[in-house]
Amino acid sequence: MIYFTSDYTAGTHPEILERLQATNLLHTAGYGSDPYTRNAATLIRQACGLDEDVAVHFLVGGTQTNATVIDGLLARHEGVIAAESGHIAVHESGAIEASGHKVLTLPHHDGKLRAEEVEHYIDEFYRDETYEHMVAPGMVYISFPTEFGTIYSLEELESLSKVCHSHSIPLYIDGARLAYGLAAEGCDVTIKDIARLADVFYIGGTKAGTLFGEAVVVPNRSLLPHFFPLIKQHGALLAKGRLLGVQFEALFTNDLFGRIGRHAVELATRLRSAMVSRGYRIAVESPTNQQFFILPNEVVDRLSKEVSMEYWGPRGECESTVRFVTSWATTAEDVEQLIELL
Amino acid sequence: MIYFTSDYTAGTHPEILERLQATNLLHTAGYGSDPYTRNAATLIRQACGLDEDVAVHFLVGGTQTNATVIDGLLARHEGVIAAESGHIAVHESGAIEASGHKVLTLPHHDGKLRAEEVEHYIDEFYRDETYEHMVAPGMVYISFPTEFGTIYSLEELESLSKVCHSHSIPLYIDGARLAYGLAAEGCDVTIKDIARLADVFYIGGTKAGTLFGEAVVVPNRSLLPHFFPLIKQHGALLAKGRLLGVQFEALFTNDLFGRIGRHAVELATRLRSAMVSRGYRIAVESPTNQQFFILPNEVVDRLSKEVSMEYWGPRGECESTVRFVTSWATTAEDVEQLIELL
Amino acid sequence: MIYFTSDYTAGTHPEILERLQATNLLHTAGYGSDPYTRNAATLIRQACGLDEDVAVHFLVGGTQTNATVIDGLLARHEGVIAAESGHIAVHESGAIEASGHKVLTLPHHDGKLRAEEVEHYIDEFYRDETYEHMVAPGMVYISFPTEFGTIYSLEELESLSKVCHSHSIPLYIDGARLAYGLAAEGCDVTIKDIARLADVFYIGGTKAGTLFGEAVVVPNRSLLPHFFPLIKQHGALLAKGRLLGVQFEALFTNDLFGRIGRHAVELATRLRSAMVSRGYRIAVESPTNQQFFILPNEVVDRLSKEVSMEYWGPRGECESTVRFVTSWATTAEDVEQLIELL
Amino acid sequence: MIYFTSDYTAGTHPEILERLQATNLLHTAGYGSDPYTRNAATLIRQACGLDEDVAVHFLVGGTQTNATVIDGLLARHEGVIAAESGHIAVHESGAIEASGHKVLTLPHHDGKLRAEEVEHYIDEFYRDETYEHMVAPGMVYISFPTEFGTIYSLEELESLSKVCHSHSIPLYIDGARLAYGLAAEGCDVTIKDIARLADVFYIGGTKAGTLFGEAVVVPNRSLLPHFFPLIKQHGALLAKGRLLGVQFEALFTNDLFGRIGRHAVELATRLRSAMVSRGYRIAVESPTNQQFFILPNEVVDRLSKEVSMEYWGPRGECESTVRFVTSWATTAEDVEQLIELL
């Protein structure tokens, strides 16, 4: 069986595992107040071109990170604007609402929000005389790349950032798959752009080669002032916090983060070319490690015997949309083997 | 100035005020454990054709009633299905989310949900293998009449009730304006039908002539078992609870509830005929006390000098949608005066 | 039967009822944006010696007011310091916790907090290196008078206020029975002192002669910036908001508030003297409208036939503590009749 | 430096690390639906003498586990009874309250609740006529061992279990350090007793040699019916869930769990004997891996240069209480070295 189901089906990248082994028997203080975590924060700030006093927090998983950050950013009367396809709007078991906040959804365009639609929404909101009876837009959430594998251009990000700041609300970027977005073909956005345009963002570890872990970066320094107890309230505080530090140290050493992203995207691109050359239709034009194809059900059934992948939506009558995901753990052989089976 | 802004701009119906005066100096136990409240519950059960052991709770206002009932009915992993135009989805300042629950919106049809769309939604939900990562549909909320003044037919209500029960989730009816729905032209639904088809519903007092107050009826007896402390947690418990009892006693004595409904609907109908005969367009076909017309802005401006009404959505360039609402406090003279101004 | 059970067993003071009747048929905008409510706020600001720009909000009931204000004042990682006998710590069905906040209890001294104990608690809290794993003290809650009918001296209030401000946390005063506290024998605190020393406080209407209603005053102007939607989320927003305005207008006209307080305290004092002269023991030395006596059970049983009162704690073997409460609705005859029965 | 600060300062037990390495490159389904997790559940059920259909859930950390389980067990009007020294009452940053629930504290006896005091509390609660205005006791939380390292005897546990069940509320045992409790000198409780007497309990991994992870066992099968989405809402769902399965599989293979417990307790006992023989006072009589001594400050200062330990409460004027904790990572040499320094 070869695996294209997701980018979190294997353990951790060997360079990270090696560091975990090497540090395993050392004793450190808990909850992130250890030298590995401090160093990981420094490496991340450097990669992002950020000052020393910018906060970097390490949490365990993506849903929990979104719930904690959003809860920290919003006042009680505010909600979070997101695309109707956004992870927080669909796939977090109601964690955002469980913290008391409404997700204010706007239509998506291949998973993306449009700056002008966000602006229109906010403007219309405050134009309504009864707006205090409704949930105020208190921040904007986007994912980069999106749930469809698509990415924002630098211009699009700048527009969104501008809209947010002209309305005094923060822009938060969910970077669960940031590694793959930055490595995407045609991507004109760097991690420094992300750090410049977002008020808060997170660098995903779980889907980019760590066992677990997400690094929350807060370029807009006054935000999230008492974040530690919120992390704990949201179940996101790891007792052996140095495990997060050790992993992110490795991820930001010798550009492992970049190498992982490029590796996966390269294999995804190879797969897409093969699909196209065989005449299969692309469901969403994604330049990242998630690829969506519309395949005849007979092909899906044939592949299923040797390939693990995921239906994207319900199985159709004759054909179905299927998602293939590559990661650090995918090999060139895996992809060639899959291509042969097409 | 004549008032058509809403049905809660005046105080209380004289028959109710009289009862409040007559009982003002009496002492009773607090929090609803008084004879007036007990008697009001009995009168309501009788009007609804319900057994003695059906619970009737009296709360203060509509948003608070929705938040309390929905919080009581849903498990933590569940959300409430509602029309995207539903009051809980739009105009409750996020009170439902503040209690931890997501509002799962479906498209509305003149404010109404369609049974087949609800069923489709629930079926698709459980067909998705990852459904535990999403918010489970735990109940259905509808308003009768809707926010557009429209009403469900008996057949539509029966279909919705059937869909809910075949999926083992309760149907909750927000009856903030129930008086006007039951009195609507062409309405083939009685309060006994409501009580038979809903698992929980509330009979609105605030918009039907009381100073305040909503009566929550629980025909499905096993639901809401520890409701009293929830009422208190949600800020819905009135210390001088007998004020609710006294008002609902009056409302269900000599059919005041029915008289108020019919009075307001009759005047609304008269207004609509006049509008139509003058060639103005109806925005939504409503058979109840809320009427929506598309009027030229010059007419709106002229009326505004002597009539209080409400823009329904933003003012348009040449014409705007305007809402006129009648109530127990509207007189035939008010309506004739308005018609003359048209 | 004569009634000493509580101060919320009767309806409303005749002067208030008269105003409600006189304004009943008028139409006003909803939710508190009406002239009566504006005027009531002005009258309250004047009584408190506060500037025009100090916010005054009108809510429906006490528990809901506490829950809303506390939720508005606290950050998510903070809790509220209260006496272990405080209303929010005991008798609000968990409404404070339901909003996500811990009540941090300190021992009470006849219902009162001591400034030095509050200061010690806060100091110890921040001395603990692991304080971020605990709930930070984010405000102080006291009731004036307390649940035992006792009152703080001006010096005690000033000390508490000083402790709060030197630690940058607000002092919130629950004035459910403020009328009776200010009218207490030996009280050296005025409503202007309350307004000067508290950051937020509320003036209780429900227990001081209105049908319902509590006026939240915010002398510390930057606090509670987006309070309206919070009021709605907490079920505390009244559609016919002018009812609150009308009642508080009457309460602050011709010093009705002061007259009600003095009347009830005078009768309570008369009762206490009679009890003492008959040799019955006082359970708590209260100078306000709540009086607590330890009576032989035979006396309790005899009284019970003609007097409504309340056990304070469980019935003892030979004697029990009983609470008698006076209000605007208590007459001198009621008290004399009770005294005769002793 | 030798480490006695806590039992979570090192990484993971070598036998567990080996399994993580061996399985690192394998692909599995996420979120716990993998064969390792299934097998770990089976091994745990076997160790506990429980039937196949008993649910075992794997979460990431202790605070998050408590918050999730308690949120799952309590209705909205209920709180959790705990010792005032209980972890949930003190050291979870308000996570229980953040989920809407009050912690109802009772006095502790060396960290333990007493069955008769719990019973008395519940009885008194329902004897109070106004109990619906207070938070109902909905479950009992105890830790085994307690935060003071003490353990309940079998008789004490049976009494607590009996009190809970006679009042129809569940008993939940926080087993963050269960390994050390079961291995304690004089412990007459087995894991099968825990499984028989608790309705829900968790087996701590983080403090017993895993990198992270806690196994929630639900012997009372009807409880926690929709636990998966709650786990996700509480930030406790691990994407690469098999990491938890792999670790707990190792922990319950060749009795590693038992070996770790016995090893640490043996070293703790050795330390205590040495302390006593040197004349130092024991602060709490603990038979487990946490030891509390009252040491002269000069001794504390001398040790501090070479030993990492923890002040237990504030530093005293002449002497202080200090906690020493052993774990799988503590060696006999560490202890002898410490003893030499005394």
- The tens digit of pLDDT for each residue in D255-304 reads 999 999 999 999 999 999 999 999 999 999 999 999 999 999 999 999 99
- Residue B133, pLDDT above cutoff 90: yes
pLDDT (0 to 100) of residue D314: 86
- The tens digit of pLDDT for each residue in A146-186 reads 999 999 999 999 999 999 999 999 999 999 999 999 999 99
CA distances from B176 to A295, B247, B322 (A): 50, 15, 21
Burial of B334 (0-12, 13-18, 19+ CB in 10 A): middle
| Spatial distance between the Cα atoms of A100 and A104, rounded to a whole number of angstroms | 13
CB-based contact B233 D132, cutoff 8 Å: no
**Rounded to the nearest 5°, which phi and psi values hold at B37?**
-65, -40
- The tens digit of pLDDT for each residue in D26-69 reads 999 999 999 999 999 999 999 999 999 999 999 999 999 999 99
- The tens digit of pLDDT for each residue in B49-93 reads 999 999 999 999 999 999 999 999 999 999 999 999 999 999 999
Bond prior to A145 in cis (omega within 30° of 0) = yes
Half-sphere exposure at residue C212, Cβ-oriented, CA atoms within 13 angstroms:
30
| Cβ contacts of B229 within 8 Å, gap of 6 or more | C93, C94, D76, D77, D132, D133, D135, D136
Beta strands per DSSP E along D18-145: 55-59, 78-83, 103-106, 136-143
- Two tokens, residue D131: 């109990």
Mean pLDDT for chain B overall: 97
Testing the interface with C: which of D87, D130, D135 to mutate, by most C Cβ within 10 A?
D135
| Cβ contacts of C124 within 8 Å, gap of 6 or more | D314
Average pLDDT over residues D173-197: 98
CB-based contact C93 B232, cutoff 8 Å: yes
Average pLDDT over residues A45-70: 98
**Rounded to the nearest 5°, which phi and psi values hold at B143?**
-110, 140
Q: Label residue A133 by pLDDT band (50, 70, 90).
A: very high
Q: What is the DSSP letter of A256?
A: H
Average pLDDT over residues D159-186: 98
Q: Helices (H), strands (E): how many in chain C?
A: 14, 13
CA distances from A191 to A113, A149, A328, B254 (A): 20, 17, 19, 72
DSSP per residue, A152-173: --HHHHHHHHHHHHHTT--EEE
Strand partners, A83: A106
- Residue C70, pLDDT above cutoff 90: yes
Q: How many CB atoms lie within 10 A of CB D298?
A: 10
| Cβ contacts of A123 within 8 Å, gap of 6 or more | none
Chain A and chain D share a number of CB contacts under 8 A equal to: 152
- Of residues D77 and C129, more confidence is placed in D77
Domains and CATH numbers, chain D: 2-7+257-341 (3.90.1150.10), 14-251 (3.40.640.10)
pLDDT (0 to 100) of residue A38: 98
CB-based contact C133 D92, cutoff 8 Å: yes
CB-based contact B235 C27, cutoff 8 Å: no
Mean pLDDT for chain C overall: 97
Taking CB atoms and an 8 Å cutoff, what residues of chain D touch C93?
77, 132-135
Q: pLDDT over 90 for what percent of chain D?
A: 99
| Spatial distance between the Cα atoms of B289 and B145, rounded to a whole number of angstroms | 10
Q: How many CB atoms lie within 10 A of CB C91?
A: 17
**Rounded to the nearest 5°, which phi and psi values hold at A112?**
-105, 150
Q: How many CB atoms lie within 10 A of CB B304?
A: 12
- The 3-state secondary structure of D165-183 reads HHCCCCEEEEECCHHHHHC
The shortest C-alpha distance from B166 to chain C (Å) reads: 32
Report chain A residues touching chain C, CB-CB < 8 A. Answer: 71-72, 75-77, 100, 132-133, 135-136, 226, 228-230, 232-233
pLDDT (0 to 100) of residue B313: 86
Mean pLDDT for chain A overall: 97
Q: pLDDT over 70 for what percent of chain D?
A: 100
Q: What is the DSSP letter of B328?
A: T
Q: Label residue B137 by pLDDT band (50, 70, 90).
A: very high
- The tens digit of pLDDT for each residue in B200-241 reads 999 999 999 999 999 999 999 999 999 999 999 999 999 999
Q: Are A219 and A54 in contact (CB under 8 A)?
A: yes
Q: pLDDT over 70 for what percent of chain B?
A: 100
CB-based contact D94 C135, cutoff 8 Å: yes
- The tens digit of pLDDT for each residue in C297-337 reads 999 999 999 999 999 988 899 999 999 999 999 999 999 99
Q: What is the DSSP letter of C235?
A: T
Beta strands per DSSP E along A20-102: 55-59, 78-83
CB-based contact A229 C133, cutoff 8 Å: yes
Mean pLDDT for chain D overall: 97
| Spatial distance between the Cα atoms of A260 and A254, rounded to a whole number of angstroms | 11
Please tell me whether the overall predicted TM-score, pTM, comes out greater than 0.95 for this model: yes
Residue type, D156: E
**Rounded to the nearest 5°, which phi and psi values hold at A23?**
-105, 0
**Rounded to the nearest 5°, which phi and psi values hold at A27?**
-100, 135
- The tens digit of pLDDT for each residue in A1-14 reads 999 999 999 999 99
Average pLDDT over residues A295-300: 96
Q: Label residue C60 by pLDDT band (50, 70, 90).
A: very high
CA distances from D273 to C281, D5, D179 (A): 56, 19, 21
**Rounded to the nearest 5°, which phi and psi values hold at C215?**
-105, 115
- Residue A313, pLDDT above cutoff 90: no
- Two tokens, residue D190: 């087995």
Q: Tokens 């209407």 label which residue?
A: C205
pLDDT (0 to 100) of residue B44: 98
What sign results for the dihedral spanned by CA atoms D255, D260, D265, D271?
Answer: positive
Taking CB atoms and an 8 Å cutoff, what residues of chain A touch C229?
76-77, 132-133, 135-136
pLDDT (0 to 100) of residue C313: 86
- Residue C21, pLDDT above cutoff 90: yes
- The tens digit of pLDDT for each residue in A243-271 reads 999 999 999 999 999 999 999 999 999 99
Taking CB atoms and an 8 Å cutoff, what residues of chain B touch C14?
24
| Spatial distance between the Cα atoms of A85 and D45, rounded to a whole number of angstroms | 40
- Two tokens, residue A34: 């250890």
| Spatial distance between the Cα atoms of B265 and C340, rounded to a whole number of angstroms | 58
Burial of B316 (0-12, 13-18, 19+ CB in 10 A): middle
Q: Which residue among D91, D98, D133 places its CB closest to the CB of C133?
A: D91
| Spatial distance between the Cα atoms of A198 and A201, rounded to a whole number of angstroms | 6
| Spatial distance between the Cα atoms of C117 and A3, rounded to a whole number of angstroms | 62
Residue type, B18: E
The shortest C-alpha distance from D91 to chain C (Å) reads: 5
Strand order in the sheet with A319-325: A281-284, A290-296, A319-325, A310-311
| Spatial distance between the Cα atoms of A104 and A138, rounded to a whole number of angstroms | 10
Shortest CA distance to C203 belongs to which of C326, C325, C59, C19?
C59
CB-based contact D30 A8, cutoff 8 Å: yes
Q: Label residue D90 by pLDDT band (50, 70, 90).
A: very high
The shortest C-alpha distance from A156 to chain C (Å) reads: 31
| Spatial distance between the Cα atoms of B125 and A314, rounded to a whole number of angstroms | 11
- The tens digit of pLDDT for each residue in D2-12 reads 999 999 999 99
Buried b (16+ CB within 10 A) or exposed e, D162-189: ebbeeeebbbbbbbbbbbbbbbbeebeb
CA distances from D275 to B227, D264, D285, D316 (A): 56, 17, 13, 19
Interface confidence (ipTM) of the complex? 0.96
CA distances from C90 to C83, C94, C311, D120 (A): 10, 8, 17, 17
Strand order in the sheet with D214-218: D55-59, D214-218, D200-204, D171-175, D136-143, D78-83, D103-106
- The tens digit of pLDDT for each residue in C181-233 reads 999 999 999 999 999 999 999 999 999 999 999 999 999 999 999 999 999 99
Taking CB atoms and an 8 Å cutoff, what residues of chain A touch B98?
76, 100
The shortest C-alpha distance from B312 to chain A (Å) reads: 10
- Residue A314, pLDDT above cutoff 90: no
Measure the CA dihedral D198/D202/D207/D213, to 10°: 170
CB-based contact C76 A77, cutoff 8 Å: no
| Cβ contacts of A22 within 8 Å, gap of 6 or more | none
Q: Please compute Rg for chain C using Cα positions.
A: 20
